[in-house]
């Protein structure tokens, strides 16, 4: 694992019906020098029984199971386990287009002064699900195209380590972005090769909407 360029962190909690679509999208990447770190945040759907045969076939996948702590803490566990020069993420119900990793590596080779990037996503779902409570004012909704989508972060490992990962709060990705721009070169890469499926889950956002 020490020689892998990219660490792809996938957190999962009780989503075995969708998780393998996400995993397959990484395994099918055109760029191959990566490791996959799966953080199981205390699932009770026996995902490990389906996953173990896959682990035996792929020596670049690490599976780590922990007690349920929430997504930000699960991401932080993955960051601490990561060995790659770069770290990126994939939500367990989303997927990558085939050239997702390759396009990011190409960008960093051409722009070594950049420390971390984020991108818009290709959003799939109902229009009403494209709006979420604004991190700066939860009483109003904002379109996802105007948000910082944390799963699209792709950056140098030291950025995530030095900033101590994500805080356990709503819009942890936007909070991370605000901290990152104070100390690092952050760039928005307009290549939406991250496929973001809306409508499957996200109880935090749904509950916030109900209380608006």
Report whether pLDDT(84) > 50. Answer: yes
CB 35 within 8 A of CB 23: no
In a domain, 16, yes or no: yes
In a domain, 195, yes or no: yes
Query: How many other C-beta atoms lie within 10 A of the C-beta of residue 30?
Result: 11
146: domain CATH number? 3.90.550.10
In a domain, 1, yes or no: no
The rounded percent of the chain whose pLDDT value lies above 90 is 74
In a domain, 173, yes or no: yes
Average pLDDT over residues 116-131: 85
Of the candidates 83, 84, 79, 78, the one whose C-alpha atom is nearest the C-alpha of residue 65 is 78
Any idea which of 27-41, 81-95, 137-151, 196-210 has the lowest mean pLDDT? 196-210
In a domain, 133, yes or no: yes
pLDDT tens for 92-110 read 999 999 999 999 999 999 9
Average pLDDT over residues 114-121: 96
By residue range, what is the domain housing residue 122? Answer: 6-210
Longest dimension (CA), the chain: 48
pLDDT tens for 189-208 read 999 999 999 875 544 444 43
Separation in Å, CA 125 to CA 58, 67, 122, 199:
32, 31, 10, 6
Tokens 């173990």 — which residue?
52
Report whether pLDDT(25) > 50. Answer: yes
Higher pLDDT, 204 or 144: 144
In a domain, 44, yes or no: yes
pLDDT of residue 198: 83
Report whether pLDDT(77) > 90. Answer: yes
pTM for this structure? 0.89
Q: Provide the domain count of the chain.
A: 1
Provide the mean pLDDT of the chain: 89
pLDDT of residue 17: 83
């Amino acid at each position: 694992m020490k020689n892998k360029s990219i660490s792809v962190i996938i957190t999962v909690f009780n989503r075995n019906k969708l998780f393998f679509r996400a995993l397959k999208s990484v395994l099918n990447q055109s760029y191959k020098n990566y490791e996959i770190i799966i953080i199981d945040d205390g699932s009770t759907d026996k995902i490990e029984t389906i996953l173990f045969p896959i682990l035996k076939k792929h020596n670049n996948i690490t599976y780590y199971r922990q007690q349920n702590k929430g997504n930000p803490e699960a991401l932080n566990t993955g960051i601490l386990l990561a060995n790659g020069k770069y770290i990126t993420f994939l939500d367990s119900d989303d997927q990558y287009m085939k050239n997702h990793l390759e396009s990011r590596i190409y960008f960093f080779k051409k722009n070594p002064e950049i420390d971390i990037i984020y991108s818009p996503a290709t959003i799939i779902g109902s229009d009403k699900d494209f709006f979420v409570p604004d991190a700066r004012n939860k009483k109003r909704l904002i379109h996802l195209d105007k948000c910082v989508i944390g799963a699209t972060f792709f950056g140098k490992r030291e950025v995530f380590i030095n900033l101590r990962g994500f805080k356990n709060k709503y819009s942890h990705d936007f909070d991370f972005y605000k901290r990152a721009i104070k100390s690092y070169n952050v760039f928005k890469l307009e290549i939406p090769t991250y496929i973001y499926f809306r409508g499957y889950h996200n109880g935090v956002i749904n509950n916030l909407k109900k209380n608006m």
